[in-house]
Structure 1
Amino acid sequence: MDIENLLKKTKAILNGHFLLSSGLHSDTYIQCAQVLKYPKYAEILGNLLSEKFNEKPDYIVSPALGGLIIGYEVARAFNVPFLFTERNKEGKMELRRNFYIEENKKVIIIEDVITTGKSTLEVVESIKDFKPNILGFGCIVNRSKKEFLNEYPIKSLIEINAKTFTSNECPMCKNNIKLVKPGSRK
């Protein structure tokens, strides 16, 4: 399947001037909710992403909100439980709703898009007390330029190397192009 074409067809790839949840600016934004709103595509993408891993996990864990649909579909493909983390009142990611992970259970963390890995690493931090065996990270789109801490492999369906800028070096800011914050994290 041509993932990039599917993302373009469903208008999941946007062009403009965007503020990413990392604080960086970009001329490209990936809004996976646009492709995941179609159940048939969500199921296909979940199956394809599950096939990227050589080992079956005991759990799939995703951050709310972006990782919910794709995380659920990957869990369904593996036929394992799906858990998700949420931000508490202080903005810290945590496992809630009486979710728990038994010690040493295999976990894959699934996201829609990974750019800096901030949310993904917050999920790792939020579940570390359960002492999971993290097999790696999975995402539809990998915008990052590296493996995190050289410890967790990232499996993705597509890599998109969109440019990112700090606000001080952003050419779109210098040209007074309106900045848009389309993501779920405010």
Structure 2
Amino acid sequence: MTDEEVLSEFRAAEALLEGHFILSSGLRSPRYLQCARVLADPMRASRLASSLVASMPREIRSAIQVVVSPAMGGIIAGHEMGRALGVEALFVERPEGVFELRRGFRLEEGQKVLLMEDVVTTGLSSREAIKAVEAAGGEVIAAAALVDRSNGTADLGVPFFPLITIAVPTYAPDELPPELAAIPAVKPGSRAKPA
């Protein structure tokens, strides 16, 4: 898929939002990609994951033994990547603020893992999930995401393969431009934070 075809999928799902958004990192943005909406259509989710898998180097694709995603946002994307790669898809969650495998999920020592996200903004969530995978015995050999909002600046410590990179401005809450400060902020993501 070309970048324009990927964006067309987001537009068709009404997943490209405009306004004043509080990101999970705490930063603010005038645009938000609601991946849950784009992934709600199983056929669309499958197309996006298949396209992402096809764009990854063959040696990485063939080495992946399991996909792990952070809950909540990454679960569907991770499941579709698992399907496209023909491997299991697990997820880590934060029952007490730190990612961990639960629900009977486990990794074998040295198992080769693809960490899959829906959106990467700062990379913090991904790095935390990678630590959880390593603590469980897995080896993250690559990370992937439907969208890289970091404009290529997120360092995950492993090769990173986004389906699309989108440059969307972000601002600290105390450094908002006037036009953004004039709009009420909303928190559309899965992690609650006070406005």
Give SS of 2:79's match: helix
Write the distance in 2 (CA, Å) between the matches of 1:131 and 1:7.
35
| Aligned with 1:15 (options 4, 15, 18) | 18
With over 3 angstroms needed to count, the CA separation of the structure-2 counterparts of 1:83 and 1:175, relative to structure 1, is closer
**SS where residue 164 of structure 1 aligns?**
coil
In the alignment, the residues of structure 2 paired with residue 79 and residue 116 of structure 1 have an alpha-carbon distance, to the nearest angstrom, of 29
Give the deviation of 1:107 after TM superposition: 0.4
Runs (4 or more) in structure 1 with deviation over 3 Å come to 172-175
Percent of counterpart pairs with the same letter?
41
**Following TM superposition, by how much is the alpha carbon of 1:105 offset from its aligned partner in structure 2, in angstroms?**
1.3
Contact 1:167 1:173 in 2 (8 A): no
Aligned alpha-carbon RMSD (Å) = 1.5
The count of corresponding residues between Structure 1 and Structure 2 is: 184
* Higher helix content, 1 or 2: 2
Matched, 1:142 2:145: no
Report the CA distance between 1:77 and its aligned residue.
1.0
State the match for 1:80 in structure 2.
Answer: 87
Say whether the 8 Å CA contact 1:6–1:35 is kept in structure 2.
yes
Q: Which amino acid aligns with 1:20?
A: L
Aligned partner of residue 84 in structure 1, secondary structure: strand
5+ unaligned residues in a row in structure 1: which ranges? none
Matched AA of 1:168: D
Q: CA deviation at 1:30?
A: 0.7
Query: Secondary structure at the residue paired with 1:152?
Result: coil
What stretches of structure 2 of length at least 5 have no aligned partner?
none
Q: Is the 8 A contact 2:133 2:140 kept in 1?
A: no
